[in-house]
Amino acid sequence: VQLQASGGGLVQAGGSLRLSCAASRSIVGIRAGGWYRQAPGKRRELVARVTTDSTTDYADSVKGRFTISRDNAKNTLYLQTNSLKPEDTAVYYCNAVLWVVPGVSQGYWGQGTLVTVSS
């Protein structure tokens, strides 16, 4: 199984993007997941996560602007990003724990998708 991230691009400040992270083949579902980002010269940081019981958590810098969700019917994790700022510019990575078969879960990273916010 691979995670395929998409949805990044160039957007003006104040704009929106929806990032997607899809499993490459049919699985049972997404147990938990998160989105991370890494800006040039900076460490990778957690942006948002959703837990097994659907609790969500966000970095202070994105609270109220970003929303994480998952669709187990589509085997896809999403990050809706609104009111984007130039400081949101980074490569965004998804990470998910997938139920690959009933009762068996495994963690995976996506390949990253670049978000560039112009001022």
pLDDT band per the 50, 70, 90 thresholds, residue 25: confident
Cα separation, 40 vs 52, whole angstroms: 31
Which residue type is seen at 102?
Answer: P
Interval 41-71: pLDDT, tens: 999 999 999 999 999 999 999 999 999 999 9
Over residues 71-119, the pLDDT tens digits come to: 989 999 999 999 999 999 999 999 999 998 888 899 999 999 999 999 9
CA distance 88 to 102: 37
pLDDT in tens, 1-13: 899 999 999 999 9
Q: What is the dihedral of CA 83, 70, 55, 47, to 10 degrees?
A: -40
